[in-house]
Structure 1
Amino acid sequence: MKVLVAGSGGQLGRALAASAPNGITLIAPPEAAFDIGNAAQVAAVVDAARPDLLINAAAWTAVDKAEAEEAAALLVNATAVGHLAAAAASVGARFVQVSTDYVFDGQACAPYRPDTPPAPASAYGRTKLAGEQAAATHHPAPLIVRTAWVYAAQGNNFVKTMLRLMAERDEVRVVADQVGTPTHALSLARAIWALHGHSGIFHWTDAGITSWYDFAVAIQDEALRLGLLSQAKPIIPIATADYPTPARRPAWSVLDKSTSWAITGPARHWRHELIDCLKAIPA
Protein backbone atom coordinates (compact mmCIF):
# COMPACT_ATOMS: atom_id res chain seq x y z
CA MET A 1 0.00 0.00 0.00
CA LYS A 2 1.31 3.45 -0.93
CA VAL A 3 0.85 6.11 1.74
CA LEU A 4 1.51 9.81 1.19
CA VAL A 5 2.15 11.88 4.34
CA ALA A 6 1.77 15.65 4.52
CA GLY A 7 3.78 17.19 7.34
CA SER A 8 6.34 14.40 7.33
CA GLY A 9 8.90 16.53 9.17
CA GLY A 10 6.75 17.12 12.27
CA GLN A 11 6.61 14.97 15.38
CA LEU A 12 3.59 12.98 14.15
CA GLY A 13 5.01 12.67 10.63
CA ARG A 14 8.23 11.20 12.00
CA ALA A 15 6.27 8.87 14.27
CA LEU A 16 4.20 7.62 11.32
CA ALA A 17 7.41 6.78 9.47
CA ALA A 18 8.91 5.05 12.51
CA SER A 19 5.82 2.90 13.12
CA ALA A 20 4.75 2.12 9.53
CA PRO A 21 3.61 -1.52 9.24
CA ASN A 22 5.24 -3.99 6.90
CA GLY A 23 4.02 -3.65 3.34
CA ILE A 24 3.71 0.13 3.48
CA THR A 25 5.51 2.24 0.89
CA LEU A 26 5.76 5.61 2.59
CA ILE A 27 5.99 8.75 0.44
CA ALA A 28 7.06 11.68 2.60
CA PRO A 29 7.99 14.73 0.51
CA PRO A 30 9.59 17.68 2.30
CA GLU A 31 7.48 20.77 2.92
CA ALA A 32 9.25 22.71 0.16
CA ALA A 33 8.07 20.12 -2.38
CA PHE A 34 4.60 19.68 -0.87
CA ASP A 35 3.15 23.06 0.08
CA ILE A 36 -0.30 22.08 1.27
CA GLY A 37 -1.51 25.67 0.99
CA ASN A 38 -0.94 25.52 -2.76
CA ALA A 39 -3.89 23.69 -4.34
CA ALA A 40 -2.15 23.18 -7.69
CA GLN A 41 0.98 21.75 -6.09
CA VAL A 42 -1.05 19.44 -3.86
CA ALA A 43 -2.99 18.15 -6.86
CA ALA A 44 0.22 17.58 -8.82
CA VAL A 45 2.01 15.74 -6.00
CA VAL A 46 -0.98 13.51 -5.25
CA ASP A 47 -1.58 12.79 -8.93
CA ALA A 48 2.07 11.80 -9.40
CA ALA A 49 2.17 9.63 -6.26
CA ARG A 50 -1.26 7.98 -6.76
CA PRO A 51 -1.37 6.89 -3.10
CA ASP A 52 -3.87 4.47 -1.60
CA LEU A 53 -3.94 6.60 1.56
CA LEU A 54 -3.13 10.25 2.30
CA ILE A 55 -2.47 11.20 5.94
CA ASN A 56 -2.39 14.86 6.91
CA ALA A 57 0.05 15.20 9.79
CA ALA A 58 0.59 18.92 9.15
CA ALA A 59 -1.03 21.63 11.26
CA TRP A 60 -0.70 25.14 12.64
CA THR A 61 -0.24 24.36 16.35
CA ALA A 62 0.80 27.79 17.72
CA VAL A 63 -2.34 28.13 19.82
CA ASP A 64 -1.74 31.63 21.17
CA LYS A 65 -0.38 33.01 17.90
CA ALA A 66 -3.58 31.88 16.17
CA GLU A 67 -5.55 34.41 18.21
CA ALA A 68 -3.76 37.25 16.39
CA GLU A 69 -3.27 35.41 13.08
CA GLU A 70 -6.45 33.39 12.65
CA ALA A 71 -6.50 33.81 8.86
CA ALA A 72 -3.01 32.30 8.61
CA ALA A 73 -3.97 29.44 10.92
CA LEU A 74 -7.14 28.86 8.90
CA LEU A 75 -5.10 28.51 5.71
CA VAL A 76 -3.08 25.65 7.19
CA ASN A 77 -5.72 24.01 9.38
CA ALA A 78 -8.71 24.23 7.05
CA THR A 79 -8.13 25.55 3.52
CA ALA A 80 -5.14 23.26 3.01
CA VAL A 81 -7.14 20.33 4.38
CA GLY A 82 -9.67 20.91 1.62
CA HIS A 83 -6.86 20.82 -0.95
CA LEU A 84 -5.57 17.50 0.43
CA ALA A 85 -9.00 15.90 0.80
CA ALA A 86 -10.04 16.87 -2.73
CA ALA A 87 -6.78 15.58 -4.19
CA ALA A 88 -7.12 12.29 -2.32
CA ALA A 89 -10.68 11.89 -3.55
CA SER A 90 -9.61 12.60 -7.14
CA VAL A 91 -7.31 9.54 -7.18
CA GLY A 92 -9.56 7.30 -5.06
CA ALA A 93 -7.31 7.46 -1.99
CA ARG A 94 -8.51 7.27 1.59
CA PHE A 95 -7.88 10.40 3.66
CA VAL A 96 -6.94 10.89 7.32
CA GLN A 97 -7.21 14.25 9.07
CA VAL A 98 -5.84 14.70 12.60
CA SER A 99 -7.85 17.04 14.82
CA THR A 100 -7.90 18.13 18.44
CA ASP A 101 -9.68 18.35 21.78
CA TYR A 102 -9.78 22.14 21.21
CA VAL A 103 -12.91 21.70 19.09
CA PHE A 104 -14.66 21.48 22.49
CA ASP A 105 -14.98 24.30 25.02
CA GLY A 106 -13.55 22.31 27.94
CA GLN A 107 -16.54 22.91 30.20
CA ALA A 108 -17.71 19.28 30.42
CA CYS A 109 -17.36 16.93 33.39
CA ALA A 110 -17.46 13.65 31.44
CA PRO A 111 -15.28 12.50 28.52
CA TYR A 112 -16.23 14.05 25.19
CA ARG A 113 -17.71 11.55 22.75
CA PRO A 114 -17.06 11.76 19.00
CA ASP A 115 -20.70 12.78 18.50
CA THR A 116 -20.63 15.54 21.14
CA PRO A 117 -21.44 18.85 19.39
CA PRO A 118 -18.24 20.90 19.02
CA ALA A 119 -17.99 24.34 20.62
CA PRO A 120 -14.46 25.71 20.17
CA ALA A 121 -13.43 28.54 22.48
CA SER A 122 -10.26 29.66 20.67
CA ALA A 123 -9.11 30.60 17.19
CA TYR A 124 -7.03 27.43 17.04
CA GLY A 125 -10.07 25.33 17.90
CA ARG A 126 -12.21 27.10 15.32
CA THR A 127 -9.65 26.52 12.57
CA LYS A 128 -9.26 22.84 13.45
CA LEU A 129 -13.04 22.37 13.43
CA ALA A 130 -13.11 24.08 10.02
CA GLY A 131 -10.51 21.53 8.93
CA GLU A 132 -12.79 18.67 9.96
CA GLN A 133 -15.58 20.27 7.94
CA ALA A 134 -13.30 20.76 4.93
CA ALA A 135 -12.30 17.09 5.04
CA ALA A 136 -15.95 16.03 5.08
CA THR A 137 -16.85 18.46 2.29
CA HIS A 138 -14.09 17.46 -0.12
CA HIS A 139 -13.77 13.72 0.56
CA PRO A 140 -16.62 11.17 0.55
CA ALA A 141 -15.43 9.20 3.59
CA PRO A 142 -12.59 10.80 5.57
CA LEU A 143 -11.20 9.47 8.81
CA ILE A 144 -10.92 12.23 11.42
CA VAL A 145 -8.86 11.38 14.51
CA ARG A 146 -9.10 13.84 17.41
CA THR A 147 -6.31 13.73 19.96
CA ALA A 148 -4.80 15.84 22.74
CA TRP A 149 -1.55 16.84 24.48
CA VAL A 150 0.74 15.28 21.86
CA TYR A 151 4.47 15.08 22.59
CA ALA A 152 7.52 13.25 21.24
CA ALA A 153 11.24 12.83 21.83
CA GLN A 154 11.85 15.34 19.03
CA GLY A 155 10.34 18.73 18.23
CA ASN A 156 8.77 21.41 20.39
CA ASN A 157 6.34 20.07 22.96
CA PHE A 158 5.52 20.12 26.67
CA VAL A 159 7.90 17.31 27.61
CA LYS A 160 10.90 18.92 25.90
CA THR A 161 9.99 22.34 27.36
CA MET A 162 9.74 20.95 30.89
CA LEU A 163 13.10 19.22 30.62
CA ARG A 164 14.70 22.47 29.49
CA LEU A 165 13.07 24.59 32.21
CA MET A 166 13.86 22.06 34.93
CA ALA A 167 17.52 22.17 33.89
CA GLU A 168 17.67 25.98 33.68
CA ARG A 169 15.48 27.33 36.49
CA ASP A 170 15.36 27.16 40.27
CA GLU A 171 11.67 26.31 40.18
CA VAL A 172 8.98 25.61 37.59
CA ARG A 173 5.38 26.82 37.80
CA VAL A 174 2.77 24.70 36.01
CA VAL A 175 -1.00 25.03 35.62
CA ALA A 176 -2.84 22.50 37.81
CA ASP A 177 -6.49 23.12 36.92
CA GLN A 178 -6.45 21.93 33.30
CA VAL A 179 -7.10 18.20 32.99
CA GLY A 180 -6.58 15.86 30.05
CA THR A 181 -4.44 13.00 28.78
CA PRO A 182 -0.90 13.19 27.40
CA THR A 183 -0.46 11.37 24.09
CA HIS A 184 2.85 10.02 22.82
CA ALA A 185 3.16 10.73 19.08
CA LEU A 186 4.21 7.11 18.49
CA SER A 187 1.06 5.90 20.23
CA LEU A 188 -1.05 8.19 18.05
CA ALA A 189 0.77 7.03 14.91
CA ARG A 190 0.16 3.37 15.75
CA ALA A 191 -3.52 4.17 16.29
CA ILE A 192 -3.76 5.88 12.90
CA TRP A 193 -2.23 2.83 11.20
CA ALA A 194 -4.80 0.64 12.96
CA LEU A 195 -7.75 2.90 12.13
CA HIS A 196 -6.86 3.96 8.59
CA GLY A 197 -9.36 1.62 6.91
CA HIS A 198 -12.26 3.23 8.77
CA SER A 199 -14.12 6.50 8.24
CA GLY A 200 -15.91 8.94 10.50
CA ILE A 201 -14.76 10.68 13.69
CA PHE A 202 -12.70 8.80 16.28
CA HIS A 203 -10.98 9.95 19.47
CA TRP A 204 -7.54 8.72 20.51
CA THR A 205 -5.24 9.51 23.41
CA ASP A 206 -3.22 7.35 25.73
CA ALA A 207 -5.02 5.96 28.80
CA GLY A 208 -5.51 7.77 32.08
CA ILE A 209 -6.22 11.34 33.17
CA THR A 210 -3.91 13.96 34.64
CA SER A 211 -3.26 17.69 34.97
CA TRP A 212 -0.41 19.62 33.39
CA TYR A 213 1.08 19.95 36.88
CA ASP A 214 0.98 16.21 37.56
CA PHE A 215 2.35 15.56 34.07
CA ALA A 216 5.29 17.85 34.88
CA VAL A 217 5.91 16.03 38.18
CA ALA A 218 5.97 12.70 36.33
CA ILE A 219 8.36 14.10 33.72
CA GLN A 220 10.80 15.19 36.42
CA ASP A 221 10.52 11.94 38.37
CA GLU A 222 11.20 9.76 35.34
CA ALA A 223 13.86 12.08 33.89
CA LEU A 224 15.79 11.96 37.17
CA ARG A 225 15.58 8.17 37.22
CA LEU A 226 16.86 7.98 33.64
CA GLY A 227 19.66 10.51 34.14
CA LEU A 228 18.18 13.21 31.92
CA LEU A 229 18.15 15.64 34.85
CA SER A 230 20.78 15.95 37.55
CA GLN A 231 18.65 17.36 40.37
CA ALA A 232 15.04 17.85 41.34
CA LYS A 233 13.57 21.34 41.19
CA PRO A 234 10.43 22.55 42.99
CA ILE A 235 7.34 22.33 40.77
CA ILE A 236 4.73 24.85 41.87
CA PRO A 237 1.05 24.24 40.98
CA ILE A 238 -0.73 27.38 39.78
CA ALA A 239 -4.19 28.27 38.51
CA THR A 240 -4.97 29.09 34.91
CA ALA A 241 -5.81 32.62 36.06
CA ASP A 242 -2.24 32.98 37.35
CA TYR A 243 -0.82 32.30 33.88
CA PRO A 244 -2.93 34.30 31.42
CA THR A 245 -2.52 33.51 27.72
CA PRO A 246 -4.12 35.01 24.59
CA ALA A 247 -5.99 31.76 23.85
CA ARG A 248 -8.43 30.16 26.24
CA ARG A 249 -7.32 26.62 27.10
CA PRO A 250 -9.90 23.88 27.80
CA ALA A 251 -10.14 23.11 31.51
CA TRP A 252 -11.35 19.59 30.64
CA SER A 253 -9.77 17.82 27.65
CA VAL A 254 -10.66 14.20 28.34
CA LEU A 255 -11.86 12.34 25.23
CA ASP A 256 -14.02 9.19 25.12
CA LYS A 257 -11.95 6.62 23.20
CA SER A 258 -14.35 3.66 23.45
CA THR A 259 -15.09 3.47 19.71
CA SER A 260 -11.43 3.61 18.70
CA TRP A 261 -10.29 1.23 21.45
CA ALA A 262 -12.91 -1.27 20.29
CA ILE A 263 -10.89 -1.49 17.06
CA THR A 264 -7.31 -1.01 18.28
CA GLY A 265 -7.52 -2.40 21.79
CA PRO A 266 -7.02 -0.14 24.82
CA ALA A 267 -4.12 2.29 24.81
CA ARG A 268 -1.28 2.03 27.29
CA HIS A 269 -1.31 4.37 30.27
CA TRP A 270 0.19 7.79 29.53
CA ARG A 271 2.92 7.34 32.14
CA HIS A 272 4.19 4.15 30.45
CA GLU A 273 4.31 5.98 27.11
CA LEU A 274 6.13 8.89 28.77
CA ILE A 275 8.87 6.55 29.97
CA ASP A 276 9.31 5.15 26.46
CA CYS A 277 9.57 8.68 25.08
CA LEU A 278 12.13 9.79 27.66
CA LYS A 279 14.26 6.72 26.96
CA ALA A 280 14.54 7.91 23.36
CA ILE A 281 16.05 11.27 24.43
CA PRO A 282 19.86 11.20 24.75
CA ALA A 283 21.10 11.78 28.31
Structure 2
Amino acid sequence: MIRYHKNRSWFGELWDKLDGSNSKRKLLLNGNLVSGQETLSSWILEISDSLRISQVALKVTQNSLLEARDAIRNHKQSLQKQEYAIVQLSDQLDELAQKVTTRLNNLEAQVHCLEVRIAANEDLDHIVTAWAAGQTYTNFPWAVQVALLAREVFSSSVMMYELETGDTERYRQLLVNKIIATRKQLPDSFFGLGDLLDQSCMRMTKDDQELTAALLEIRSVPQQRLVNTPHLFVIGTTLELATLPTEARPAKPAQSALALCRAQIGTISRTTDAREFITYVVEETANDCMAMMQ
Protein backbone atom coordinates (compact mmCIF):
# COMPACT_ATOMS: atom_id res chain seq x y z
CA MET A 1 0.00 0.00 0.00
CA ILE A 2 2.90 2.31 0.78
CA ARG A 3 4.43 1.56 -2.57
CA TYR A 4 1.05 2.27 -4.18
CA HIS A 5 0.74 5.64 -2.52
CA LYS A 6 4.29 6.59 -3.46
CA ASN A 7 3.76 5.72 -7.15
CA ARG A 8 0.33 7.23 -7.75
CA SER A 9 -0.24 8.87 -11.16
CA TRP A 10 -1.10 12.39 -12.01
CA PHE A 11 -4.71 11.38 -12.15
CA GLY A 12 -4.52 10.31 -8.58
CA GLU A 13 -3.06 13.61 -7.54
CA LEU A 14 -5.79 15.43 -9.52
CA TRP A 15 -8.35 13.36 -7.73
CA ASP A 16 -6.87 14.35 -4.44
CA LYS A 17 -7.11 17.99 -5.37
CA LEU A 18 -10.70 17.58 -6.50
CA ASP A 19 -11.79 15.87 -3.27
CA GLY A 20 -9.79 18.36 -1.14
CA SER A 21 -7.14 15.95 0.28
CA ASN A 22 -3.71 17.16 1.19
CA SER A 23 -1.18 15.04 -0.68
CA LYS A 24 1.73 16.46 1.25
CA ARG A 25 0.22 15.38 4.52
CA LYS A 26 -0.30 11.89 3.18
CA LEU A 27 3.19 11.72 1.83
CA LEU A 28 4.54 12.81 5.22
CA LEU A 29 2.40 10.22 6.94
CA ASN A 30 3.54 7.57 4.55
CA GLY A 31 7.15 8.53 5.17
CA ASN A 32 6.64 8.27 8.92
CA LEU A 33 5.08 4.86 8.50
CA VAL A 34 8.01 3.69 6.44
CA SER A 35 10.46 5.09 8.96
CA GLY A 36 8.54 3.45 11.82
CA GLN A 37 8.53 0.13 10.06
CA GLU A 38 12.26 0.37 9.46
CA THR A 39 12.82 1.26 13.11
CA LEU A 40 10.58 -1.62 14.19
CA SER A 41 12.48 -3.95 11.90
CA SER A 42 15.79 -2.78 13.37
CA TRP A 43 14.43 -3.17 16.89
CA ILE A 44 13.20 -6.69 16.12
CA LEU A 45 16.60 -7.53 14.68
CA GLU A 46 18.26 -6.17 17.80
CA ILE A 47 15.91 -8.20 19.98
CA SER A 48 16.68 -11.28 17.92
CA ASP A 49 20.39 -10.63 18.33
CA SER A 50 19.89 -10.06 22.06
CA LEU A 51 17.93 -13.29 22.36
CA ARG A 52 20.62 -15.15 20.47
CA ILE A 53 23.28 -13.63 22.73
CA SER A 54 21.16 -14.45 25.78
CA GLN A 55 20.81 -18.04 24.63
CA VAL A 56 24.57 -18.27 24.21
CA ALA A 57 25.05 -16.70 27.64
CA LEU A 58 22.54 -19.13 29.14
CA LYS A 59 24.34 -22.00 27.50
CA VAL A 60 27.66 -20.78 28.88
CA THR A 61 26.05 -20.27 32.28
CA GLN A 62 24.55 -23.74 32.14
CA ASN A 63 27.93 -25.23 31.30
CA SER A 64 29.53 -23.24 34.11
CA LEU A 65 26.89 -24.42 36.56
CA LEU A 66 27.41 -28.02 35.46
CA GLU A 67 31.14 -27.61 35.89
CA ALA A 68 30.58 -26.02 39.30
CA ARG A 69 28.27 -28.90 40.27
CA ASP A 70 30.87 -31.44 39.22
CA ALA A 71 33.57 -29.49 41.05
CA ILE A 72 31.43 -29.34 44.20
CA ARG A 73 30.68 -33.06 43.92
CA ASN A 74 34.36 -33.87 43.46
CA HIS A 75 35.27 -31.57 46.34
CA LYS A 76 32.66 -33.26 48.53
CA GLN A 77 34.06 -36.67 47.66
CA SER A 78 37.55 -35.39 48.38
CA LEU A 79 36.40 -34.03 51.74
CA GLN A 80 34.78 -37.37 52.56
CA LYS A 81 38.00 -39.17 51.72
CA GLN A 82 39.97 -36.71 53.81
CA GLU A 83 37.51 -37.09 56.68
CA TYR A 84 37.83 -40.88 56.48
CA ALA A 85 41.61 -40.56 56.39
CA ILE A 86 41.50 -38.22 59.40
CA VAL A 87 39.31 -40.69 61.32
CA GLN A 88 41.72 -43.50 60.51
CA LEU A 89 44.67 -41.34 61.50
CA SER A 90 42.91 -40.40 64.74
CA ASP A 91 42.28 -44.07 65.52
CA GLN A 92 45.90 -44.89 64.76
CA LEU A 93 47.08 -42.04 66.98
CA ASP A 94 44.80 -43.22 69.80
CA GLU A 95 46.13 -46.75 69.44
CA LEU A 96 49.69 -45.46 69.37
CA ALA A 97 49.03 -43.27 72.41
CA GLN A 98 47.66 -46.28 74.29
CA LYS A 99 50.70 -48.35 73.35
CA VAL A 100 53.04 -45.54 74.37
CA THR A 101 51.16 -45.08 77.65
CA THR A 102 51.29 -48.80 78.36
CA ARG A 103 54.97 -48.89 77.48
CA LEU A 104 55.71 -45.89 79.69
CA ASN A 105 53.74 -47.42 82.56
CA ASN A 106 55.69 -50.66 82.16
CA LEU A 107 58.97 -48.76 82.07
CA GLU A 108 57.98 -46.74 85.13
CA ALA A 109 57.03 -49.95 86.93
CA GLN A 110 60.35 -51.52 85.96
CA VAL A 111 62.26 -48.43 87.07
CA HIS A 112 60.34 -48.38 90.34
CA CYS A 113 61.06 -52.08 90.93
CA LEU A 114 64.70 -51.45 90.14
CA GLU A 115 64.80 -48.52 92.57
CA VAL A 116 63.17 -50.63 95.28
CA ARG A 117 65.61 -53.46 94.64
CA ILE A 118 68.60 -51.13 94.71
CA ALA A 119 67.37 -49.60 97.97
CA ALA A 120 66.91 -53.09 99.44
CA ASN A 121 70.40 -54.12 98.33
CA GLU A 122 71.92 -50.98 99.81
CA ASP A 123 70.10 -51.38 103.12
CA LEU A 124 70.99 -55.06 103.39
CA ASP A 125 74.64 -54.42 102.58
CA HIS A 126 74.83 -51.50 105.00
CA ILE A 127 73.18 -53.39 107.88
CA VAL A 128 75.08 -56.66 107.41
CA THR A 129 78.41 -54.92 106.78
CA ALA A 130 78.08 -52.88 109.97
CA TRP A 131 77.17 -56.03 111.90
CA ALA A 132 80.03 -58.05 110.38
CA ALA A 133 82.45 -55.25 111.28
CA GLY A 134 81.38 -55.47 114.91
CA GLN A 135 79.67 -52.09 114.92
CA THR A 136 76.26 -53.42 116.03
CA TYR A 137 75.12 -55.99 118.63
CA THR A 138 78.74 -56.59 119.59
CA ASN A 139 78.16 -57.67 123.20
CA PHE A 140 75.22 -59.97 122.48
CA PRO A 141 75.40 -63.77 122.00
CA TRP A 142 75.14 -64.88 118.38
CA ALA A 143 71.61 -66.30 118.78
CA VAL A 144 70.34 -62.94 120.03
CA GLN A 145 72.34 -61.11 117.36
CA VAL A 146 70.56 -63.12 114.68
CA ALA A 147 67.14 -62.10 116.03
CA LEU A 148 68.06 -58.41 116.29
CA LEU A 149 69.83 -58.38 112.92
CA ALA A 150 66.84 -59.98 111.18
CA ARG A 151 64.50 -57.44 112.80
CA GLU A 152 66.66 -54.56 111.55
CA VAL A 153 66.94 -55.94 108.02
CA PHE A 154 63.21 -56.52 107.58
CA SER A 155 62.36 -53.13 109.03
CA SER A 156 64.23 -51.54 106.11
CA SER A 157 63.67 -51.28 102.35
CA VAL A 158 64.03 -55.05 102.15
CA MET A 159 60.47 -55.39 103.43
CA MET A 160 59.23 -52.84 100.87
CA TYR A 161 60.83 -54.97 98.18
CA GLU A 162 58.99 -58.08 99.39
CA LEU A 163 55.66 -56.27 99.66
CA GLU A 164 55.85 -54.76 96.17
CA THR A 165 57.35 -57.71 94.30
CA GLY A 166 55.97 -60.65 96.26
CA ASP A 167 59.46 -62.16 96.30
CA THR A 168 59.85 -63.61 99.79
CA GLU A 169 62.88 -65.79 99.08
CA ARG A 170 65.68 -63.65 97.65
CA TYR A 171 66.72 -61.55 100.64
CA ARG A 172 65.75 -64.09 103.29
CA GLN A 173 68.02 -66.73 101.84
CA LEU A 174 70.69 -64.12 101.17
CA LEU A 175 70.60 -62.98 104.80
CA VAL A 176 70.83 -66.55 106.10
CA ASN A 177 73.86 -67.22 103.91
CA LYS A 178 75.55 -63.96 104.93
CA ILE A 179 75.07 -64.71 108.63
CA ILE A 180 76.48 -68.23 108.28
CA ALA A 181 79.38 -66.99 106.15
CA THR A 182 80.21 -64.21 108.62
CA ARG A 183 79.96 -66.15 111.88
CA LYS A 184 82.67 -68.81 111.64
CA GLN A 185 82.24 -69.98 115.27
CA LEU A 186 78.71 -71.37 114.87
CA PRO A 187 78.04 -74.89 116.20
CA ASP A 188 78.70 -77.57 113.59
CA SER A 189 76.20 -80.09 114.93
CA PHE A 190 72.75 -80.23 116.46
CA PHE A 191 72.26 -78.61 119.85
CA GLY A 192 69.45 -78.11 122.31
CA LEU A 193 67.50 -74.91 121.72
CA GLY A 194 66.87 -74.47 125.44
CA ASP A 195 70.55 -74.92 126.27
CA LEU A 196 71.56 -72.39 123.60
CA LEU A 197 69.19 -69.72 124.92
CA ASP A 198 70.00 -70.36 128.60
CA GLN A 199 73.70 -70.00 127.87
CA SER A 200 73.00 -66.83 125.88
CA CYS A 201 71.09 -65.28 128.79
CA MET A 202 73.88 -66.10 131.22
CA ARG A 203 76.33 -64.12 129.05
CA MET A 204 74.14 -61.01 128.98
CA THR A 205 73.77 -58.29 131.56
CA LYS A 206 70.34 -57.54 132.96
CA ASP A 207 70.23 -54.25 131.07
CA ASP A 208 71.00 -56.03 127.79
CA GLN A 209 68.35 -58.63 128.56
CA GLU A 210 65.73 -55.96 129.20
CA LEU A 211 66.79 -53.99 126.13
CA THR A 212 66.63 -57.05 123.86
CA ALA A 213 63.27 -58.13 125.27
CA ALA A 214 61.91 -54.63 124.62
CA LEU A 215 63.24 -54.67 121.05
CA LEU A 216 61.62 -58.01 120.29
CA GLU A 217 58.30 -56.77 121.81
CA ILE A 218 56.96 -60.25 122.46
CA ARG A 219 54.39 -59.20 125.07
CA SER A 220 52.86 -56.57 122.76
CA VAL A 221 52.41 -58.98 119.85
CA PRO A 222 48.79 -60.18 119.28
CA GLN A 223 48.08 -63.88 119.66
CA GLN A 224 47.36 -64.32 115.94
CA ARG A 225 50.90 -63.18 115.16
CA LEU A 226 52.54 -65.17 117.94
CA VAL A 227 51.32 -68.45 116.48
CA ASN A 228 53.53 -67.78 113.45
CA THR A 229 56.63 -66.84 115.46
CA PRO A 230 57.34 -69.66 117.96
CA HIS A 231 61.13 -69.20 117.94
CA LEU A 232 60.85 -65.45 118.46
CA PHE A 233 58.36 -66.12 121.25
CA VAL A 234 60.80 -68.48 122.96
CA ILE A 235 63.71 -66.02 122.63
CA GLY A 236 61.69 -63.07 123.92
CA THR A 237 60.05 -65.04 126.73
CA THR A 238 63.43 -66.42 127.80
CA LEU A 239 64.80 -62.89 128.11
CA GLU A 240 61.74 -61.69 130.02
CA LEU A 241 61.92 -64.61 132.46
CA ALA A 242 65.64 -63.98 132.93
CA THR A 243 64.95 -60.39 134.03
CA LEU A 244 62.57 -61.44 136.82
CA PRO A 245 63.68 -61.07 140.44
CA THR A 246 65.81 -63.92 141.74
CA GLU A 247 63.01 -65.45 143.80
CA ALA A 248 60.65 -65.48 140.79
CA ARG A 249 63.16 -66.32 138.07
CA PRO A 250 63.18 -69.98 136.94
CA ALA A 251 66.48 -71.83 137.05
CA LYS A 252 66.36 -72.39 133.31
CA PRO A 253 64.36 -69.59 131.67
CA ALA A 254 64.68 -71.07 128.17
CA GLN A 255 63.25 -74.44 129.23
CA SER A 256 60.31 -72.65 130.83
CA ALA A 257 59.87 -70.55 127.69
CA LEU A 258 59.78 -73.71 125.55
CA ALA A 259 57.13 -75.18 127.84
CA LEU A 260 55.03 -72.00 127.58
CA CYS A 261 55.43 -72.04 123.80
CA ARG A 262 54.14 -75.60 123.55
CA ALA A 263 51.23 -74.75 125.83
CA GLN A 264 50.21 -71.43 124.25
CA ILE A 265 51.63 -71.38 120.71
CA GLY A 266 52.33 -74.80 119.31
CA THR A 267 54.90 -77.51 118.85
CA ILE A 268 58.55 -76.47 118.61
CA SER A 269 61.57 -78.73 118.31
CA ARG A 270 63.89 -79.04 121.30
CA THR A 271 66.96 -79.56 119.11
CA THR A 272 68.18 -77.70 116.04
CA ASP A 273 71.34 -76.74 114.17
CA ALA A 274 72.80 -73.37 113.24
CA ARG A 275 71.34 -73.10 109.72
CA GLU A 276 67.92 -74.31 110.78
CA PHE A 277 67.79 -71.95 113.76
CA ILE A 278 68.92 -68.95 111.70
CA THR A 279 66.45 -69.81 108.93
CA TYR A 280 63.55 -70.08 111.39
CA VAL A 281 64.40 -66.77 113.03
CA VAL A 282 64.82 -64.96 109.69
CA GLU A 283 61.58 -66.38 108.23
CA GLU A 284 59.52 -65.68 111.34
CA THR A 285 60.88 -62.14 111.64
CA ALA A 286 60.23 -61.38 107.97
CA ASN A 287 56.70 -62.79 108.12
CA ASP A 288 55.93 -60.85 111.29
CA CYS A 289 57.18 -57.58 109.79
CA MET A 290 55.10 -58.22 106.68
CA ALA A 291 52.02 -58.91 108.82
CA MET A 292 52.50 -55.57 110.57
CA MET A 293 52.80 -53.75 107.24
CA GLN A 294 49.71 -55.28 105.64
Scaled to the shorter chain, the TM-score interval is: under 0.3
With structure 1 as the length reference, what TM-score do the two structures score?
0.24
Q: TM-score, normalised by structure 2?
A: 0.23
User: Which of the pair is proportionally richer in strand?
Assistant: 1
Answer with 1 or 2: which has the greater Rg. 2
Larger % of helix: which? Answer: 2
